[in-house]
């Protein structure tokens, strides 16, 4: 219910009640302005875009913490979001009401991240985008909760992220790296390069996930490292990450030898650390992978390089982008092309051959051209 009444001081008071029964009012010099305000409120209520004017008074920090703690993030994602908000967002806009933060404020925050600050070096473009994504998620949730009408993140300019081409290891480098590793990790290297699993998926493999008869392995889980230096078993990254990967003979033989040397039960992790527990990523990298890489004088690279090697071998063998995408567990083929497009063979020669073949002697195009030539003689 809405109404307009003239006050003793000559001003016009416009009043309405929201869906919760709370009364809101504003005073105007002119009746037409009061009526216009009520019309705008009524329209927003009818279209489902109404926002309580008082709701946006909650600060970005208060709402951001409520959102963050209620969001079911994975451990690594949760840690990254918490750091992005605490270190970069809250000092700039944390104590300001949501409704008072403008696009220019968010733009200034983002732009400032690329410049030196007290106690901080300039952030890389990719890190800036990560911080921005956390800020944008908070505002998006505030819009959904009807605390603000629109997000101030709309139209914010972000720095370009230089596109870096992945550099897969060669087969010889993979073999050398496997031979340089401690015995318990040799099969891990060959399995990573022979299946293309993500590091978390590779370290999360259990014996039961390998079917030696069908020569397949199933990706059903992954492990993530916790703050305490332990690991947590969790679902794969996306629904496309659940997949069955064919096992080449190289990997089958390596796994058979591995289980003979390090016997395990079906529900045990396939690869285990020196303490017979799960492989903790940072300990593995610091204690085994990086020292082996340095001894071989390989370029700085991580465990993910084995995944790139797998992708490059499939592409070199002529597999389609669709197959490569499915094997890697990508959400779509576009993601695969975005990462590995430079590895696909150049199509110029195939284009030339296709056109030359169509115009070759005996082709329809060649005959038509011959007939036209004869008519002009």
pLDDT at 21: 72
Which residues, including other chains, have CB under 8 Å from residue 75's CB and lie 6 or more apart?
224, 225, 226, 227, 232, 234
Put the strands of the sheet holding 210-211 in their side by side order: 210-211, 216-219, 243-246
Q: For residue 66, what is the enclosing H or E element? A: helix 60-70
- Quick one: residue 296, left, alpha or beta (phi over 0 = left, psi -120 to 50 = alpha)? alpha
Which residues, including other chains, have CB under 8 Å from residue 84's CB and lie 6 or more apart?
130, 131, 134, 135
Reported as half-sphere exposure (CB side, CA atoms, 13 A), residue 245 has a value of: 35
Q: What CA–CA distance (Å, rounded) separates 172 from 178?
A: 10
- β-pairing, 2-6 vs 12-17, is antiparallel
Alpha-helix runs per DSSP H in 145-248: 171-180, 183-195, 199-203
Which residues, including other chains, have CB under 8 Å from residue 160's CB and lie 6 or more apart?
125
Residues 3-17, buried b or exposed e (16+ Cβ, 10 A)? eeeeeeeeebebebe
Q: Are 17 and 23 a contacting pair, CB within 8 Å?
A: yes
Q: What is the dihedral of CA 148, 159, 92, 151, to 10 degrees?
A: 0
pLDDT at 48: 61
Phi, then psi, of 86 in degrees rounded to 5: -65, -45
pLDDT at 189: 97
Topology of the domain comprising 171-341: hpI Integrase; Chain A (1.10.443)
pLDDT at 37: 73
Q: What CA–CA distance (Å, rounded) separates 164 from 298?
A: 18
- CA of 237: how far to CAs of 199, 233, 328, in Å? 11, 12, 12
pLDDT at 376: 46
pLDDT at 26: 82
- Quick one: residue 146, left, alpha or beta (phi over 0 = left, psi -120 to 50 = alpha)? left
Q: What is the dihedral of CA 336, 337, 341, 343, to 10 degrees?
A: 30
Q: What CA–CA distance (Å, rounded) separates 377 from 375?
A: 6
Query: Could you confirm whether domain 57-144 is CATH 1.10.150.130?
Result: yes
pLDDT at 368: 46
361 by DSSP, 3-state: which? Answer: coil
In DSSP terms, which residues pair with 10 in a beta bridge? none
pLDDT at 193: 96
Q: What is the dihedral of CA 154, 127, 238, 302, to 10 degrees?
A: 160
Per-residue pLDDT tens, the chain, 377 aa: give them: 688 888 889 898 888 777 667 787 888 888 888 888 777 777 666 666 656 666 668 999 999 999 999 998 877 888 899 999 999 999 999 999 998 999 999 999 999 999 988 878 999 999 999 999 999 999 999 988 888 888 999 999 999 988 778 888 999 999 999 999 999 999 999 999 999 999 999 999 999 999 999 999 999 999 998 877 889 999 998 899 999 999 999 999 999 999 999 999 999 999 999 999 999 999 999 999 999 999 999 987 889 999 999 999 998 888 899 999 999 999 888 888 888 887 877 666 667 777 777 777 555 544 445 454 444 44
């Amino acid at each position: 219910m809405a109404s307009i009444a003239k006050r003793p001081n000559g001003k016009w008071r416009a009043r309405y009640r929201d869906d919760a029964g709370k009364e809101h009012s504003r005073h105007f010099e002119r009746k037409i302005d009061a009526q216009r305000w009520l019309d705008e409120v009524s329209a927003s209520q009818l279209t489902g875009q109404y926002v309580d004017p008082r709701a946006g008074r909650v600060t970005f920090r208060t709402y951001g913490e409520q959102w963050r703690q209620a969001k079911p993030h994975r451990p690594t994602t949760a840690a990254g979001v918490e750091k992005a908000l605490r270190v970069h967002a809250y000092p700039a806009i944390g104590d300001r009401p949501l409704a008072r933060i403008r696009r220019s404020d968010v733009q200034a925050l983002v732009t400032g991240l690329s410049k030196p600050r007290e106690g901080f070096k300039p952030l890389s473009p990719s890190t800036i985008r990560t911080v921005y994504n956390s800020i944008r998620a908070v505002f998006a949730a505030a819009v959904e909760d009807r605390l603000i009408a629109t997000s101030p993140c709309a139209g914010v300019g972000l720095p370009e992220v230089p596109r870096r081409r992945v550099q897969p290891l060669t087969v010889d480098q993979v073999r050398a790296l496997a031979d340089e590793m401690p015995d318990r990790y040799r099969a891990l290297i060959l399995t990573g390069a022979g299946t293309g699993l993500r590091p978390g998926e590779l370290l999360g493999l259990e014996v039961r996930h390998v079917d030696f008869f069908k020569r397949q392995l199933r990706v059903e889980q992954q492990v993530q490292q916790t703050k305490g230096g332990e690991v947590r078993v969790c679902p794969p990254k996306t629904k496309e990450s659940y997949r069955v990967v064919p096992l080449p003979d190289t990997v089958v033989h390596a796994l058979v030898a591995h289980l003979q040397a390090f016997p395990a039960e079906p529900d045990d992790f396939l690869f285990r650390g020196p303490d017979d527990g799960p492989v903790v990523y940072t300990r593995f990298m610091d204690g085994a992978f990086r020292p082996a890489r340095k001894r071989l004088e390989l370029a700085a690279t991580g465990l993910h390089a084995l995944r790139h090697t797998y992708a490059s071998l499939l592409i070199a063998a002529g597999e389609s982008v669709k197959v490569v995408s499915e094997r890697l567990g990508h959400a779509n083929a576009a993601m695969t092309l975005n990462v590995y497009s430079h590895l696909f063979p150049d199509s110029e020669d195939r284009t030339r051959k296709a056109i030359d073949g169509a115009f070759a002697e005996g082709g329809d195009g060649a005959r038509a051209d011959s007939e036209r030539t004869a008519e002009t003689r």
